[in-house]
A and B are shown apart, each in its own frame.
Chain A
Amino acid sequence: NAGVMQNPRHLVRRRGQEARLRCSPMKGHSHVYWYRQLPEEGLKFMVYLQKENIIDESGMPKERFSAEFPKEGPSILRIQQVVRGDSAAYFCASSPRERSYGYTFGSGTRLTVV
C-alpha cells in the first residue's frame, strides 16, 4: 500500500521559470492538501482539493500559484515565474473522505530557486 507519492523530491528552477509539483494520494483517498514549509518554520496551509474541485484555497498566494486535482492523474501544484522566496519544501497530504482524522503526508518536494 504505497503512501502519498510526491515527485520530484528535489527541484531546482531559475528565477522566472515554472515549477510543477505532483502529488499522488494514497489509494482510495479523494482529498488532497498542499502545505508549504519555509526553512526552520512550521507548515502553512495552501490549498485543499477534491477531484475536479477546489474546496479551500485561502492559503494560496493570489498570483503565480495554482493547483488542480483532475479526475485522472495526480494533483498538481503549479508555480509560475518562480522567485527566490518560493524556495521551500512543499508537502502534500491526503485523506480518504470528507470526515476523517489524521493526514498522511508525502515526502515532499524541495524547491530551490536560483
Chain B
Amino acid sequence: GENVEQHPSTLSVQEGDSAVIKCTYSDSASNYFPWYKQELGKRPQLIIDIRSNVGEKKDQRIAVTLNKTAKHFSLHITETQPEDSAVYFCAATSNFGNEKLTFGTGTRLTIIP
C-alpha cells in the first residue's frame, strides 16, 4: 500500500518568512495530493490540493508543487502570519480522492512573532 513520509516534524519560522513542508509517497499510482491544516482540538481542514496532471498550484500565500518522477510534493507558505501556526498534514490517494487517504505524520508549524 501507499506510504507517505513528511518532514520536518516541527518547524519554527519568524513571522513574515516562508515555510516549506515536504512529503514523499511510494505508490506511483497516486494521483491526488491534498494538504490539511489542523488547529489544536479541531478538525483537519483542506487548504490546498493538487492532481497528478499539474506540477504546481497556488492560492494566495499557499502553493503546492508536485514532482511525479521523484514522487514528492511540497507545501510552501509565504509571508507567514501567527494564524498559520498549526499542524499540517499531507496526504495521497490513487483514485481521485474517493478512496482512502494515506496521511503523513504531520508538521507542527510555529510562527514566531
Binding site for B on A (CB under 8 A): 31, 33, 35, 41-45, 48, 56, 58-59, 91, 95, 97-108
CB-nearest residue of chain A to B51: A101
Q: Does B100 contact A (CB under 8 A)?
A: yes
Residues of A within 8 A of B101 (CB): 33, 35, 43, 45, 103
Tell me if B's interface is mostly helix, strand, loop or mixed.
loop
List B residues at the A interface (Cβ < 8 Å).
Answer: 6, 32, 34, 36, 42-46, 49, 51, 89, 95-106
Q: What CA separation (Å) do A59 and B103 show in the bound complex?
A: 13
Residues of A close to B105: CB separation below 8 A: 41-42
**What separation, in Å, do the CA atoms of A31 and B99 have in the docked complex?**
10
A43-B98 in contact (CB<8A): no
Q: Are A102 and B34 in contact (CB under 8 A)?
A: yes
Chain B residues with CB under 8 Å of A98's CB are 98
Is A42 within 8 A of B103, CB to CB? yes
B34: chain A residues within 8 A (beta carbon):
101-103
Contact of A101 with B100 in the complex, beta carbons under 8 Å: no
Establish whether residues A100 and B100, one from each chain, have CB atoms under 8 Å apart when the complex forms. Answer: no
For residue A58, give the distance in angstroms from its CB to the closest CB of chain B: 7
> Given A31-B98, A95-B98, A108-B43, are A102 and B103 neighbors across the interface (CB < 8 Å)?
no
- In the complex, the answer to whether B106 meets A42 with C-beta atoms within 8 Å is yes
